[in-house]
């Protein structure tokens, strides 16, 4: 009996740590999902009020406040077939990638001419991309414009392969996430979805 | 008598002279005070914000090539004459002997995007609290707004200004000091230098957390089974 007590202690530690980590995991997932939903709501609110902002000296200028501007998504990305709806923030900081997708700097802005690249975590918001197919419709809504795009290509590239960020003549949206989709840690490849604007 | 009259005339002239000089000085001081007060004036006075954000502006390719930080440095977008104008804020650093303007572009987060020498347009005016002033009338250190029309290259002092009054780059002051400015200098040379050197990694820490929890729990289950199976039966 005495020689068994260390095993019992280890057993207890394993159960406790395991349960705590799993609770943390599911709690964090729920929290991030809330952040995503909140981002969508903030975007919708900003879109609805953006048209009413005529500024005079007494105006509070809500959108010109840097701190608030940082928290407003610049666009909303949807792929209806995959039930994917994610806010797109103005950079790919870890905070933004946790609460949505991020706009890759050096690429075109949303619904503009050229190629806009958007990145997000493959194990969170871009997980549905594993089921995306050529021909799927992608919607990108910015504060004043809405664009519909059709997926034209799916590629797997090395991280150093930068052609997905190259400018394009046609208005294009390029989605970037890690590959393989089921991989613990930093996956070695990148999954690229390119969609071209529909006329 | 004549000498008394002369003294009187001289005294009146001196008083008048001092009075005029004092008035002129007071007027100038008042004007300077007004201008200086307007450093803190509302940069958007009388302007109408557009419904699009800076990220949505259709930037001119040359604008992005010469000033790749434009989307980041842009504060907001106003609409005038049916056109979108991206609004930038600069700290006016003064005029060079050749007439060019030294301006430091300040982003919405108060971060500097570098010092640029601009060739002012003919009769260019800049807005201070909604009123137009020439470059000679503004003071060093004043915070001013410049406006870039969507899809065009150059900076106007006011939205809807004639295209001939647009300021364009005269020279770029070599960046100094920190890494951020070095990075901006590289961006000046290569319009796509702002983009990452490799495609972003998009793995969050959550799966590691989940896996660790699962493994720990499996270890606990295995130890429990082992203990129960190993217990002597009566």
| pLDDT tens digits for range B55-81 | 888 888 778 777 878 888 899 898 887
**How far apart, in whole angstroms, are the C-alpha atoms of residue B36 and residue B28?**
12
Q: Which of A7, A18, A112 sits opposite B227 (nearest CB)?
A: A7
CB contact under 8 A, A124 and B58: no
> Can you tell me whether residue B41 is helix, strand or coil?
coil
- Name residue B83's beta-bridge partners: B80
User: How much is the pLDDT for A55?
Assistant: 36
Per-residue pLDDT at B169: 66
- Cβ within 8 Å of A, B 90-129: 108-110
The answer to whether the CB atoms of B56 and A54 lie below 8 A apart is no
A159-190 confidence digits (pLDDT tens): 999 999 998 988 999 999 999 988 877 889 99
Q: Is B201 in contact with A118 (CB distance < 8 Å)?
A: no
CA distance A48 to chain B (A): 10
CB contact under 8 A, A57 and B45: yes
pLDDT: which is higher, B183 or B60: B60
A-chain CB neighbours of B195 within 8 Å are 104-107, 162, 165
Q: Cβ–Cβ of B49/A92 closer than 8 Å?
A: no
pLDDT at B11: 73
For range B42-46, the mean pLDDT: 72
Q: What are phi and psi of B177, to 5 degrees?
A: 65, -100
The question of ipTM being above 0.85 is answered as no
For B197-229, how does the pLDDT look when each residue is reduced to its tens digit (9 = 90+)?
888 887 777 788 888 899 999 999 998 898 888
Of A198, A113, A78, nearest to B56 by C-alpha is A113
- DSSP assignment, residue A124? T
CA distance B91 to B97: 18
Distances (CA, A) of B46 to B78, B107, B126: 10, 21, 14
DSSP code of B155? B
Q: What's the confidence (pLDDT) of residue B185?
A: 47
Sequence-ordered strand ranges (E) for chain A: 75-79, 84-89, 101-103, 115-119, 137-142, 146-157, 172-179, 189-197
Cα–Cα distance for residue pair A154/A135, rounded to 1 Å: 11
* Of A92 and B47, the one with more pLDDT: A92
Q: Which H or E run includes B143?
A: strand B143-149
Q: Which comes out higher in pLDDT, residue A38 or B29? A: A38
Which residues in A lie closer than 8 A to residue B200 (C-beta atoms)? Answer: 92, 102, 104, 119, 176
Q: What is the pLDDT of residues B106-130, one digit of tens each?
A: 888 888 888 888 888 777 888 877 7
- Position with higher pLDDT, B25 vs B90: B90
Cross-chain Cβ contact A165/B195 below 8 Å: yes
Long-range pairs for B178-187 at CB < 8 Å and ≥24 separation?
B180/B111, B181/B112, B181/B114, B184/B68, B184/B69, B184/B113, B184/B114, B185/B114, B187/B68, B187/B69
User: Which of B44, B51, B209 lies at the smallest CB-CB distance from A143?
Assistant: B51
pLDDT score of B54: 87
Contacting B residues, span 131-190, partner chain A, CB-CB under 8 Å = none
8 Å CB contact of B209 and A28? yes
Which one of B52, B68, B206 has the shortest CB-CB distance to A28? B206
Residue in chain A closest to B230 (alpha carbons) equals A4
Is 60 exceeded by the pLDDT of residue B98?
A: yes
Please choose, from the candidates A187, A176, A7, the residue with its C-alpha nearest in 3D space to the C-alpha of residue A92: A176
Query: Which residues of chain B from 40 to 59 reach within 8 Å of chain A, CB to CB?
Result: 42, 44-53, 55-59
Which residue among B130, B192, B227 places its CB closest to the CB of A11? B227
Distance from CA of A81 to the nearest CA of B (A): 23
Angle formed at CA B148 by CA B146 and CA B153, multiple of 5 degrees: 125
A29 at B interface, C-beta within 8 A: yes
| Intervals of chain A under pLDDT 70 | 1-4, 50-70
In this predicted structure, the answer to whether residue B183 has a pLDDT above a threshold of 60 is: no
pLDDT reading at B9 higher than 70: yes
Confidence of residue B48 (pLDDT cuts 50, 70, 90): confident
Residues of B in contact with A183 (CB under 8 A): 203
Please state whether the peptide bond connecting residue A180 to the residue before it is cis, i.e. omega within 30 degrees of 0.
yes
Please give the pLDDT value at position B233. Answer: 54
Contacts of A12 in chain B (CB under 8 A): 220
- pLDDT exceeding 70 applies to what percent of chain B? 73
Across the interface, of B46, B71, B201, the residue whose CB is closest to A56 is B46
* Other CB atoms within 10 Å distance of the CB of residue A134: 12
Query: What percentage of residues in chain B have a pLDDT greater than 90?
Result: 4
Residue A14 to residue B220, Cβ atoms within 8 A: yes
- Residue B18 has a pLDDT of 66
């Amino acid at each position: 009996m005495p020689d068994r007590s260390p095993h019992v202690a280890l057993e207890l530690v394993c159960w406790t740590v395991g349960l705590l980590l799993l609770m943390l995991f599911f709690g964090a997932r729920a929290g991030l999902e809330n952040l995503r939903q909140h981002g969508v709501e903030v975007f919708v609110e900003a879109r609805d009020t953006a048209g009413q902002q005529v500024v005079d000296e007494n105006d509070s200028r809500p959108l010109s406040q840097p701190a608030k501007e940082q928290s407003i998504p610049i666009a909303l990305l949807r792929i209806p077939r995959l039930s994917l709806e994610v806010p797109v923030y103005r950079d790919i900081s870890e905070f933004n990638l946790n609460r949505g997708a991020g706009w890759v700097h050096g690429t075109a802005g949303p619904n503009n001419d050229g190629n806009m690249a958007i990145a997000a975590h493959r194990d969170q918001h871009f997980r549905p991309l594993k089921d995306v197919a050529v021909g799927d419709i992608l919607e990108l809504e910015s504060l004043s414009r809405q664009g519909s795009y059709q997926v034209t290509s799916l590629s797997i590239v090395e991280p150093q392969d930068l052609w997905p960020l190259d400018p394009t003549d046609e208005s294009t949206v390029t989605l970037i996430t890690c590959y393989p989709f089921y991989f613990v840690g930093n996956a070695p490849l990148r999954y690229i979805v390119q969609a071209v604007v529909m006329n | 008598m004549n000498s008394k009259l002369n003294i009187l005339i001289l005294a009146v002239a001196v008083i008048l002279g001092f009075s005029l000089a004092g008035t002129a000085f007071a007027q100038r001081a008042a004007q300077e005070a007004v201008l200086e007060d307007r450093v803190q004036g509302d940069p958007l006075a009388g302007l109408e914000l557009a419904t699009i954000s800076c990220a949505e502006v259709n930037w001119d390719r040359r604008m992005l090539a010469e000033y790749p930080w434009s989307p980041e440095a842009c504060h907001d977008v106003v609409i005038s004459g049916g056109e979108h104008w991206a609004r930038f804020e600069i700290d006016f650093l003064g005029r060079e002997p050749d007439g060019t303007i030294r301006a430091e572009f300040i982003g919405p987060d108060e971060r500097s995007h570098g010092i640029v020498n601009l060739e002012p347009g003919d009769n260019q005016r800049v807005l201070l609290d909604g009123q137009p002033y020439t470059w000679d009338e503004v003071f060093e250190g004043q915070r001013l707004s410049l406006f870039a029309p969507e899809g065009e290259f150059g900076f106007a002092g006011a939205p809807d200004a004639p295209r001939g009054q647009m300021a364009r780059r005269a020279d770029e002051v070599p960046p100094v000091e920190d890494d951020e400015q070095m990075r901006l200098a590289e961006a000046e040379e290569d319009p796509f230098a702002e983009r990452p050197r490799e495609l972003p990694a998009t793995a969050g820490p959550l799966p590691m957390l989940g896996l660790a929890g699962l493994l720990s729990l499996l270890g606990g289950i295995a130890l429990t089974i082992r203990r129960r199976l190993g217990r002597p039966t009566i």
